[in-house]
Copies of this chain bind each other. A is one copy, B any other.
Amino acid sequence: MTTGENGGAAVPARLRELPSRLLGQASTHAQRLVTEALGRADAHKWHYAAMVALEESGPVSQAALSDRTGIHRSDLVAVINELAERELVERAPDPDDRRRNVITLTPLGRRRLRRLEQILDTAQDELLSPLSAAERAQLTRLLGRIVEHHAYGASAMGPDGQ
């Protein structure tokens, strides 16, 4: 979808103002910006997500990491591989439960995370450049409400949920 080029042709208002479409296009631009920025530093969105979660939670299993990042556990394998390859993370079997791998952020990983944070800050800034600070906060709040609202469905979830 994404727009590509447009030599001044009229995009119908019904399309221009359709929220689902706006979300799609904005998301495409957003992903492109952050993917390119991180790519220049040999990194990936998922690397950042995993490392942030690891810094907050300390060493955890891959399953827990999947919950905390939203990265599917089948995709997480490759992410951990790449991070471990670069020695940003260590994967070790959990002695208490030998089904698990405990993932630990290395000091190098922590430094790396600082760098990725800078890169992402810049990218967000570019993404939101047409908006004021107040508008950015507003947008973030509104999107957060939408995402939170639609965050149900797949799992069983305890009886207490909801």
Which residues of A line the B interface, CB within 8 A? 1-12, 14-31, 33-34, 45, 49, 52-53, 56-57, 64, 66-72, 117, 120, 123-124, 127-131, 135-136, 138-140, 142-151, 153-155, 157-158, 161-162
From B16, B53, B158, contact of A7 by CB (8 A): B158
Cβ distance A110 to chain B, nearest Cβ, rounded Å? 14
**Residue contact B140 to A19, C-beta cutoff 8 Å:** yes
From B20, B26, B29, B161, contact of A123 by CB (8 A): B20
Contacts of A9 in B (CB 8 A): 64, 67-68
Contacts of A4 in B (CB 8 A): 66, 70, 72, 154-155
From B52, B72, B130, contact of A145 by CB (8 A): B130
Smallest CB-CB A-B distances: 4 pairs: A5-B155, A27-B27, A5-B154, A9-B67
Q: Within the assembled complex, what's the spacing in Å between the Cα atoms of A138 and B136?
A: 12
Which of A45, A69, A135, A146 is packed against the most chain B CB atoms within 10 Å? Answer: A146
Number of copies: 2
**Residue contact A130 to B151, C-beta cutoff 8 Å:** no
18 additional A-B residue pairs with CB within 8 Å, beyond A1-B70, A26-B150: A4-B72, A4-B154, A6-B70, A8-B161, A17-B140, A19-B30, A19-B127, A19-B139, A19-B143, A20-B30, A23-B23, A23-B143, A25-B147, A27-B28, A29-B146, A128-B146, A131-B142, A138-B138
